[in-house]
């Protein structure tokens, strides 16, 4: 589904990513970790088409519908829009009047994210954590084949974070969704058979989380 072949990115003289090679199949769940500034966000921006590689090639199945939660959404935004409007903007098709079916779907997700009372609230008056839940719904609601989350839980409290990851695994299993997740807190998110990538300008490790333990024990992991 996704293939990176010798992908490098430079900003001027600064090489952010060097010779990145990896492959993902449909239904894979990949966690990406690495120090700050190691190129994680750059790596996924290439996939979405927000950046072009300086050299190398990225292939992705043409039919793939993506859902993306950018990292900047994690800081509180002063958006002059209601929760309903923000979520609806994530639908694949919109019309002037929102159908009852679409409203019901939005309500279903607001319930799942435990913020049903906020449907008509202005985004400006929400806390950072509440906004993050709204942006998560926006990314998830159109049933993407590929979901890309850049530090999606930074503003969520720990108990809800756990529920959120549970939700992601459910979606991966029920819908065979492919998920790429950039994170700082690997521990509460990962299952043994998940793919894990440790990036620091290059791919230092790529494999199952089970095998990642061994890599860590060799002292390579310095997040």
Residues contributing to the site for ligand ADP (CB under 6 A): 11, 16, 34, 36-42
**CA nearest neighbour of 221 among 182, 181, 186:** 186
**Which DSSP helix (H) or strand (E) runs through 41?**
helix 40-48
Task: Give the tokens for residue 107.
Answer: 């309500």
- Phi (first) and psi of residue 196, to 5 degrees: -130, 135
- Least distance from ligand ADP to the Cβ atom of residue 98, Å: 35
Instruction: Give the burial string for 102-134 (b: 16+ CB within 10 Å, else e).
Output: beebbeebbebbebeebeeeebeebeebbbbbb
Distance in Å, CB of 67 to ligand ADP, minimum? 19
Our CB check for ligand ADP shows the closer of 45 and 138 to be: 45
Q: Least separation, in Å, of the C-beta of 200 and ligand ADP? A: 9
Q: For 67-219, where are the alpha helices, taking DSSP H only?
A: 83-88, 100-112, 128-140, 158-175, 209-217
Residue nearer to ligand ADP on the CB measure, 72 or 92 = 72
Q: Which residues pair with 12 in a beta bridge?
A: none
Q: Which is nearer to ligand ADP, 36 or 174 (CB)?
A: 36
Q: Which is nearer to ligand ADP, 179 or 182 (CB)?
A: 182
Residue 180 CB, nearest distance to ligand ADP (Å)? Answer: 13
Structure-block tokens of residue 40: 């994680």
Give me the least distance between CB of 41 and ligand ADP, in Å please.
Answer: 3
Question: Strand pairing partners for 147?
Answer: 67, 179
Closest to ligand ADP by CB, 43 or 84: 43
**For ligand ADP, the closer CB: 36 or 117:** 36
Cα distance between the two ends of the chain: 29
Least distance between ligand ADP and beta carbon 127 (Å): 24
The answer to whether the beta carbons of residues 139 and 67 sit under 8 Å apart is yes
């Amino acid at each position: 589904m996704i293939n990176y072949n010798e992908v490098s990115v430079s900003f001027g003289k600064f090489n952010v990513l060097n010779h990145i090679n990896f492959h993902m199949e449909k239904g894979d769940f990949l966690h990406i970790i690495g120090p700050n500034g190691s190129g994680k966000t750059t790596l996924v921006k290439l996939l979405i088409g927000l950046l072009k590689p300086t050299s190398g090639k990225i292939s992705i199945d043409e039919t793939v519908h993506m859902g993306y939660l950018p990292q900047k959404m994690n800081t509180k935004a002063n958006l002059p829009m209601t929760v309903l409007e923000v979520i609806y903007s994530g639908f694949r098709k919109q019309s002037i009047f929102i159908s009852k079916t679409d409203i019901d779907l939005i309500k279903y997700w607001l319930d799942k994210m435990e913020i049903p009372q906020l449907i008509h609230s202005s985004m400006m008056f929400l806390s950072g954590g509440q906004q993050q839940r709204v942006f998560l719904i926006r990314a998830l609601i159109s049933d993407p084949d590929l979901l890309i989350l850049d530090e999606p839980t930074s503003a969520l409290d720990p108990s809800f974070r756990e529920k959120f990851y549970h939700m992601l695994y459910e979606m991966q299993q029920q819908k065979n969704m492919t998920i790429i997740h950039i994170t700082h807190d690997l521990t509460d998110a990962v299952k043994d058979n998940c793919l894990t990538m440790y990036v620091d300008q290059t791919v230092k490790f790529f494999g199952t989380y089970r095998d990642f333990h061994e890599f860590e024990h060799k002292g390579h992991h310095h997040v």
